[in-house]
Amino acid sequence: MSRVLVVNTGSSSIKYQLFEMDGPKTLASGLVERIGEAGAKLTHRAGDAEPLVVEERVADHSEGFERVFSAFETAGGPITELAGIGHRVVHGGDRLTEPTLIDDEAVAAIADQAPLAPLHNPSNLLGIRIAMASFPDTPQVAVFDTAFHQTMPPRAYRYALPAELARDLRIRRYGFHGTSHAYVARKAAEHLGRPAAEVNLITLHLGNGASAAAVQGGRCIDTSMGLTPLEGLVMGTRSGDLDPAVVFYLHREAGLSVDDIDDLLNKRSGMLGLAGANDMREVARLVGDGDEAAAEALDVYCYRIRKYVGAYAAALGRLDALIFTAGIGENNDAVRAGVCQGLEGLGIRLDARRNKGRSAKPRTISADDSQVAVLVVPTNEELEIAQQTLAVVTGQARPASLEAAEP
| Cβ at position 261, least distance to ligand ADP in Å | 23
User: Active-site residue among 137, 145, 368, 369?
Assistant: 145
Q: Which of residues 209-238 bind ligand ADP (CB under 6 A)?
A: 209, 236
Nearest to 84 by CA among 180, 2, 183: 2
Contact call for residue 328 and ligand ADP (CB under 6 A): yes
Distance CA 390, CA 396 (A): 8
Contact call for residue 281 and ligand ADP (CB under 6 A): yes
Those residues whose C-beta lies under 8 Å from the C-beta of residue 390, and which sit 6 or more positions away, are 2, 4, 21, 83, 84
| Cβ at position 21, least distance to ligand ADP in Å | 23
Nearer to ligand ADP, 218 or 378 (CB): 378
Contact call for residue 207 and ligand ADP (CB under 6 A): yes
Nearest to 141 by CA among 381, 394, 403, 404: 394
Nearest to 323 by CA among 303, 339, 311, 307: 339
* Cis, bond preceding 115 (omega within 30 deg of 0): no
| Count of chain residues binding ligand ADP (CB under 6 A) | 12
| Cβ at position 379, least distance to ligand ADP in Å | 8
- What residue is closest to ligand ADP based on CB? 327
User: How crowded is residue 248: how many other Cβ atoms within 10 Å of its Cβ?
Assistant: 11
Nearer to ligand ADP, 320 or 330 (CB): 330
Nearest to 305 by CA among 393, 385, 371, 232: 232
Contact call for residue 11 and ligand ADP (CB under 6 A): no
Nearer to ligand ADP, 97 or 208 (CB): 208
Nearest to 225 by CA among 211, 238, 209, 239: 211
Is the Cα torsion angle 109, 112, 117, 121 positive or negative in sign? positive
Distance CA 201, CA 194 (A): 12
User: How distant, in Å, are the alpha carbons of 240, 245, 253, 259, 324 from that of 256?
Assistant: 19, 14, 8, 8, 37
Quick one: which of 326, 340, 350, 372 contacts ligand ADP (CB under 6 A)?
326
Q: Which of residues 296-315 bind ligand ADP (CB under 6 A)?
A: none
Segment near ligand ADP (CB under 6 A); pick from 40-48, 98-106, 168-176, 206-214 = 206-214
| Cβ at position 252, least distance to ligand ADP in Å | 33
Segment near ligand ADP (CB under 6 A); pick from 37-45, 100-108, 138-146, 277-285 = 277-285
Nearer to ligand ADP, 281 or 356 (CB): 281
Nearest to 332 by CA among 310, 302, 361, 308: 302
Contact call for residue 356 and ligand ADP (CB under 6 A): no
| Cβ at position 108, least distance to ligand ADP in Å | 29
| Cβ at position 404, least distance to ligand ADP in Å | 28
Distance CA 15, CA 6 (A): 8
Those residues whose C-beta lies under 8 Å from the C-beta of residue 112, and which sit 6 or more positions away, are 93, 95
Contact call for residue 122 and ligand ADP (CB under 6 A): no
In terms of residues, how long is the chain? 407
Q: How many helices (H) and strands (E) are present in the chain, helices listed first?
A: 15, 14
145 is catalytic: yes
Nearer to ligand ADP, 99 or 236 (CB): 236
Burial class (CB in 10 A: 0-12, 13-18, 19+), 70: middle
Nearer to ligand ADP, 64 or 378 (CB): 378
Quick one: which of 5, 280, 297, 376 contacts ligand ADP (CB under 6 A)?
280
| Cβ at position 280, least distance to ligand ADP in Å | 3
Contact call for residue 385 and ligand ADP (CB under 6 A): no
Segment near ligand ADP (CB under 6 A); pick from 121-129, 141-149, 327-335, 389-397 = 327-335
Catalytic residue IDs: 145
Residues that bind ligand ADP (CB under 6 A): 207-209, 236, 279-281, 326-328, 331-332
